[in-house]
Structure 1
Amino acid sequence: MSNSDPTAKLGKYFIWLAWIVVLALLVFFFQSALEQQINPNSRPQYSLNAQGNAEVILQQNRQGHYVSSGTIHEVPVTFLLDTGATQVSIPAHIADQLHLTTSGQGIANTANGQVRIYHTRIDQLSIGNIYLYNVDAHINPGMKSDEILLGMSALKRVEFSQTGKQLILRERN
C-alpha cells in the first residue's frame, strides 16, 4: 500500500479525528472534576432544621476553603466565605454585572495593603435556602477574582459551626 492510496489517507484522517474527540472528552471530564474540587458546593445541601430554620451544609474544597454558589439579586455568583473580612467584598467587574450602585468611597486594609473601595448595599443575597437582605458591602476595583468574599457583614447574620470538613450555616431567628 502506498502513501498515495486515498483510502489510507482517509483512514489517517479518521484516526486523527478519533484522537481529537478522545482528547476533547478527557478535557470535558477532567474540567468538571477540577471545578468540583474548587467549588464542591455548586449546589449546596440545604434543609430546614427541627426549629424550622434554614440550614446549609458546605464542604471544604481541596485547599481547605469554603466556596459556594449563591445569588446576589437572584443572579448566580460564587462566594468564598471569609470570616477575616469585615465586609462582603465584590470585585468591580462583578459589581458592574450586578448593577450595584455606590454610596461613597473609603480605604480598606487588606492582606495586600490599603485599597480604595466603594460602599454599596446588597438588597438580597442567598446561599441555598438562607436569604439575607440589606447587606453592607464594598466594591473593590483591585480584586481580579471571580469570587465574592463573603465577609462578616453577611456571616454575622447566620449561626455557623464547623465539624470536620463541613461548615453548617443556620438561619438566625
Structure 2
Amino acid sequence: MDDREQQPARRFTLPDAEKERRLQDVRARLHVDGPPPPAERGGGWLLPALFWTALIGLGTLGASYWLANSKGDTTFQVVADGSLELRMGRGGHYEVSGAVGSVPIQFLVDTGASVTAIPRHLGERIGIRECPAIGFDLSAGNEPGCCRKESFRTANGTAEACVARVPSLRFGPFEVRNASVAVMPGIGDQALLGMNVLKHFSLVQEGRRLTVSPAMVLR
C-alpha cells in the first residue's frame, strides 16, 4: 500500500488573506451601477424650493389683486379734460375725499339721496346751529346758515334731522357754493353726496369706474 494512502486526509483550507481577497472580488461582481438613492443626490432640495417660492409669489399677487378690487381701491384721478374718475370700492359704492367748509370729510356717492347728508359732529364743528322758532336766518354769506328741522325717510325708518346751507362744499377737484346739507345723526364719520349736488354734474359709469364731469359752472 502506498504511504500516501495511509496518511489521514487533509482539509482544504485557505489563508485568511486569500479568503478576504476572494470575498471582496465577489462583492465587486455583485455591485450594480445606478443612480444614488434620493437622499444622496446633490441639490435635491432645489426644485421643491423653487416650486414653493413660485406658489407663494402667485398667492401674493392674487391677494393684492383681490384687495384692490374687492375691498376697494377708492383713489380718484382727475383726467386731462378736468373730469373726475372714481373707482368702485367696497359693496359696489364710489367714495371720494372732499370737505365741507374747511373740514375734510370722506363722501360716499349716493344717487338715491335727494340731499347731501353730513354727520352731526361735522355740522357742530363748522358752526351750524339750530334755527330760531320765529325769525329769519341772519347768517353771513361766508358762514353756514342755521339748520331747520325736517324728517327724512331712511333704510331704518324715519329720522329727524335738519337742513342748512354751507358756503362751500368740495369733492375731488370740484366746488359747489351755497349747497344745502342735511345734518343727520347716526351716519358715522362718512358723508353722503346726494343729488342736490350731483345734479350739476354729468355721471357716466363704465364697468367699475364712474366719470364725473361738470355740466354747468356754479357761481
* TM-score normalised to structure 1 length: 0.70
Distance apart, 1:38 and its partner CA: 4.9
Q: State the structure with more CA Rg.
A: 2
- Contact residue 119 and residue 137 of structure 1 kept, 8 A: yes
RMSD over aligned Cα atoms: 2.2
Q: After TM superposition, what 4+ stretches of structure 1 lie above 3 angstroms from structure 2?
A: 36-39
Any idea what the Cα deviations from partners look like across 1:113-136, whole Å, max 9, x if unmatched?
Answer: 111111111211112211111111
The equivalent residue for 2:147 is 103
Partner of 1:24: none
Residue type matched to 2:128 in 1? L
Aligned residues: 134
Q: Distance in 1 between matches of 2:103 and 2:169?
A: 9
Matched, 1:79 2:111: no
Residue 138 of structure 1 corresponds to which residue in structure 2?
182
Q: Which has the higher contact order (CA 8 A, sep 6+)?
A: 1
Distance 2:176 2:111 in 1: 16
Determine the C-alpha separation between the residues in 1 that align with 2:121 and 2:72: 21
Amino acid at match of 1:158: F
1:117 maps to which residue?
Answer: 161
Query: Which of residues 160, 167, 173 is equivalent to 2:203?
Result: 160
Q: Which residue of 2 aligns with 1:170?
A: 213
Summarize the Cα distance change of 1:37–1:69 in structure 2 as closer, same or farther, 3 Å threshold: farther
> Is the aligned partner of 1:46 residue 2:78?
yes
Aligned positions of 1:86-97 closer than 5 A:
86-97=114-125
Contact 2:116 2:181 in 1 (8 A): yes
Counterparts of 2:102 and 2:89 in 1: how far apart (Å)?
24
CA distance in 2, matches of 1:127, 1:103: 22
TM-score w.r.t. length of structure 2: 0.56
Letter in 2 for 1:58: L
- 2-side partners of 1:100 and 1:80: how far apart? 21
The structure that is strand-richer by fraction is: 1
What percent identity do the matched residue pairs reach? 29
